[in-house]
Structure 1
């Protein structure tokens, strides 16, 4: 890479030398460099250049200011995937207010609860939904058309505090109780700069994305990453795997950042008339376990692509570790890579003692892009120097992280600990198995035992799978029940719904 926009990493400041203080600063820089370059292209055909995105966000920020938004004001963003989503995020950032990410796929009852907990001051919504927001009990609701309408109102000066909160995102964390993660400007800007470095991204790259933008991946690794570097973002309003593949080839995009579910849906629905995407040079994947077999099947369809596994959480503003080279061709496939610059990873025992190389324990993280803490339902802030992730893993002597599983997903079979991800990876490596989910189900003798749902190719003999697993995994880890399904149940956020999987296995 010849021109590193962010500059070099400084170990003393634990960030990069030429990083704007805020997302607004990044947009201002990019719009000055590429005013006429496409910033966002929607699958509807609508698009904005970086110059237009800057102008539209300035107008929106003036409209927010006129109705009382100030630094620290909480602005709920309840918008579908669109250029307007980016406009809202950047307009809020310009005036130093806080974007509260709201999941549009949730029910009104769920959203009402979240909006109340988040103490949203102003709600920005798509026009069709604006009329039905009376139950949300928000002081001010602003329809998207009003939010974007040119008004001639004076624009306030841009706020440039790197330590100020920029985004609040809901997460259940390790307790199952929804709480808000606070992400600062510094967290966000370091994350996008780190992605530039570890993935060798430049303004010459372009990205396609079809999952919901309101997650940390969508906000940071996609929307603001493109703004930061000047990459064009091709955006699907609703994910359609067949259309996604067609559009990826037609637009010549070079980069796809997706979840294991997105990539699995692409594989299941890959159009036969487009067997390969030769233009894609980079694939990045986080959010959940990605079986090595699935990685290799993906690269058969995209032979020029380097696959980079990412490990991160909402609390790490997306990346904590990234695989430094192509995982598909590496002997270390299955690892989540090494810590990004500015991040330290430790593995600890239940009592907090740091463990040595290759010892499995809880993954803890600290660093520049790690959230300063949480806001609970009572709006009380809890700071945390080290993030306890709730994930089990280990570090090799060379510093590579292997994520074993979620601590809460671990199956305890009469004292024997079973990690579902490990069993799923072996299942997916068997011929004819396309997808799998392993959970613990109640058992009178052992307390709980492993059971699995699988998606298989036509003609695959389910009865042979347990025997094929023996010898590859411990005998006690072989699922006692394996049931075929058309698809693995997913949550509205497109993650594996383990509760639904467990219910199916219990009922049947």
Structure 2
């Protein structure tokens, strides 16, 4: 039988480009595709020695590293399911994920020994392995991999088989495990190759965490599929990111608006050679005008997009050539993905009409792990994924996001979409980020509040902000109060945790 899953990729990469540099990590260490694949084989053997087989979950808790990627492919080669764990989670949250997916093995960085010490026993995870060299308590992953017997016998997987369980950000309630198949991950990589023009000569700087599906599905996988090179950064630091771009001739960079703002605000921004940069992608929210201006001044343009974990994660892409012409849009559906807008009854609405965004395509997940009711609720009768996001398509088919269904503010019977107001707030001089929430009001039911972060030395109040917006939107949409905070609470993917803001300001 043929092997169609991502577990077959590494053997083919070793065959096609064994001497090509796959990874640059640490302080300049390099790893070729041949060396990378040898390591993948050894981790497959380590997992098998611990009884891991088809369908078993292999969890990973750690920063960006060769170990993380080798564990993913090592699990895929034997038909196991990779579960990346958000490094920002507390021990009870880690324990919940390990228990929910039934992880047979947890591999973790030494930095997370303390939370793992309580989380793994609580979840009943039978095997825990620390990355690196061994300690007094036992051998590390590096020791086990060196001692592992040669690996043979890839599992036969199809595009329908599960490859990963990625837990959603969990901005409301418990996180749900989105099951991503080998087909989902393959097709999202192909979408990125087509729409972001990934080529084998690219050098991609990975500054976002690979436990997040955007970095994994839209960053690492397309690069490996094309045999390009990744520069892996364990954590993000804007000055170091600039240095790495110049040092390694980086051509590709992805992040969220906050990431790009921090890079542009760094003192090294104006003196760093960015001449090799050609492909910048940004997700999480539309790129504010101030960031577009800063990068365009350096001759750089963005590809923007929209998606969610359940789409592995990307659904649309806005090419750089349309950044200004379609400013505020998140682009067209990916080559192998479809998007439609429906009303509350499920009927497709005309261009320009706001409704729920629905997505279909081979990159869309089959469902949530162990949650058949939530899975059924997530799909329409004809098989489209209900995103829970509001938006509209223009006459040219470009998608614009209006907000979340659950984030919709209803004030005096009028609907207010937070995303519309946030976009305009972001254009006010001195505002660095903005979030809008609905706060209970005796007269209107709800009124919008703006929670802002501002540049050092900038002073803004409610009257000033309302005056800046007056005339640009209906008066009932103007924020009734403006609160300045040091930073907005965010998920690992850069999305604002509106639930946290409601808990703080909404009572």
For the residues of structure 2 that align with 1:272 and 1:260, how far apart are their CA atoms?
Answer: 16
- Structure 2, unmatched stretches of 5+, are 133-139
* Residue in structure 2 matching 1:408, options 383, 406, 421: 406
Size of the aligned set, in residue pairs, is 486
Q: How far apart, CA to CA, are the structure 1 residues paired with 2:171 and 2:429?
A: 35
In structure 2, what is the Cα distance between the partners aligned to 1:207 and 1:416? Answer: 45
Could you say which residue in structure 2 is the equivalent of 1:225? 222
**1:62 positional shift:** 1.0
CA contact (8 A) 1:94 1:158 kept: yes
Shift, 1:292, TM fit:
3.5
Deviation at 1:377, TM superposition (A): 5.8
Partner deviation per Cα, 1:350-390 (whole Å, 9 max, x = no partner): 12111111110000111111111112369997584211001
Measured after TM superposition, the shift of residue 152 of structure 1 is 4.6
Does the 8 A contact of 1:117 with 1:378 survive in 2? Answer: no
* Matched residue, 2:168: 171
Q: Tell me the equivalent position of 2:369.
A: 375
Partner of 1:35: 18
What are the superposed Cα offsets for residues 376-408 of structure 1, whole Å, 9 maximum, x if unpaired? 369997584211001001112221111111111
* TM-score normalised over the length of structure 2: 0.89
Matched, 1:202 2:199: yes
Q: Is the 8 A contact 1:118 1:377 kept in 2?
A: no
Partner of 2:317: 322
- The equivalent of 1:474 in structure 2 is 474
Structure-to-structure mapping, 1:22-171, within 5 angstroms? 22-127=5-110, 129=112, 132=117, 133-145=120-132, 146-148=140-142, 149-161=145-157, 162-171=159-168
Answering whether residue 303 of structure 2 is matched by residue 308 of structure 1, we say yes
Does 1:451 find its partner at 2:445?
A: no
Cα gap change, 1:166/1:459 in structure 2, threshold over 3 Å: closer, same or farther?
closer
What is the CA–CA distance in structure 1 between the aligned matches of 2:28 and 2:360, rounded to whole Å? Answer: 42
Residue 277 of structure 2 is matched in structure 1 by 280
Give the drift of 1:483. Answer: 2.5
2:171, 2:497 within 8 Å by CA — same for their partners in 1? no
Cα deviation, residue 422, structure 1: 0.9
Confirm or deny that 1:393 pairs with 2:391: yes
Unaligned regions of 5+ residues in structure 1, if any? 1-18
State the alpha-carbon separation in 1 of the partners of residues 500 and 167 from structure 2: 22
1:90-142 per-residue CA deviation (whole Å, 9 max, x = no partner) reads: 10011111111211221111111111111112212224545724344202223
Q: Which residue of structure 1 lines up, in the alignment, with residue 187 of structure 2?
A: 190
Give 1:414 shift: 1.3
Contact 2:198 2:222 in 1 (8 A): no
Q: 1:389 to 1:414 in 2, by over 3 A?
A: same
Asked if structure 2 preserves the Cα contact closer than 8 Å seen for 1:76 and 1:124, the reply is: yes
- The CA distance in 2 between the partners of 1:393 and 1:174, in whole Å, is 20
Q: 2:341 aligns with which of 335, 347, 370?
A: 347
RMSD: 2.5
Q: Distance in 1 between matches of 2:180 and 2:406?
A: 25
